[in-house]
Amino acid sequence: MTARGLTTRTTIAGVLGAGLVASALSGCVFAGGNTTVTAPAEVSPTTSAATPGTTPTTPATAKATTGSTAGSTAGSTAGSAAGTRLPLATDARFTALPTFGVTVDPAWQVVIFDKDGVNQFKHANGCQLTTMQNRLSAGTASDQAETDAQIAAAQKEFTGRAPEAQFKVSADPLPLTLGIAGKDSIDFAALLVRYTNKDTKTEWGSVIAIRAMPKVGSRMIVNLSCPTTAMNAALPVLEKVHVLGS
């Protein structure tokens, strides 16, 4: 895997796509079959996993546009050299609360725009892309430890709403573009979920990507949810999600 961010479609596919067709992520719940993945040991997060309606990162708010990338190029490296990757093992050092910028084509309709830190887009194939940015209680925990705790909390919360859901924590982090230029990236942990949509009674999957930054006081979440038959084709939209900060 490269260390230069999301410059091609193969980066996202390399982390998640192959697993969704039953190769790279052994036992991935999107791969078909009835594999049940054991939940990770419970870890206590600083705060619960974010859902729409939680306290947003104000005054910095998300920016989302259709057809163009929104936001500022300020701080595109967030303390890292140009063309590098910010891993979970390295704590982020943003001087202001980071925000999301999203570039989507007209096939993705804006459903929610910049409401309480939430942006949501919907595709005609049923897929939904949601970004959430929220304040996180300041603490001394590392990004890796707090992100792991947030992933565990997200799984617990999801299980409460869909007890039949199956989970897989991606062995590899999901690199999202850092800044506008597209040279840098920042790693998010990724939780893969397979469940039955209660409205359509069909099988769906979600990719829930989380980065918690206690020293910055920020938690960022991206959720791509699709009918399982549409997930592979929808994965490249994650390359259009940018983390913006200074």
CATH topology of domain 10-33+51-244: Protein Transport Mog1p; Chain A (3.40.1000)
- Determine the pLDDT at residue 92: 96
Ranges of each domain in the chain: 10-33+51-244
* Structure confidence by residue, pLDDT tens digits, 110-125: 999 989 999 999 999 9
- Determine the pLDDT at residue 198: 85
CA-to-CA distance for 74 and 244, rounded, in angstroms? 7
Bridge partners (DSSP) of residue 128 are 122, 225
pLDDT band with cut points at 50, 70 and 90 for residue 16: low
CB 84 within 8 A of CB 179: no
Q: What's the whole-model pTM score?
A: 0.74
* Structure confidence by residue, pLDDT tens digits, 132-175: 999 998 889 999 999 999 999 999 999 999 999 999 999 999 99
- Contacts of residue 238, Cβ cutoff 8 Å, sequence gap at least 6: 12, 174, 176, 207, 209, 222, 224
pLDDT band with cut points at 50, 70 and 90 for residue 24: very low
CA-to-CA distance for 121 and 217, rounded, in angstroms? 26
Rounded to the nearest integer, the mean pLDDT of the chain is: 75
Q: Is 78 left (phi over 0), alpha (psi -120 to 50) or beta?
A: left
Does the pLDDT at position 200 exceed 70? yes
pLDDT band with cut points at 50, 70 and 90 for residue 243: very high
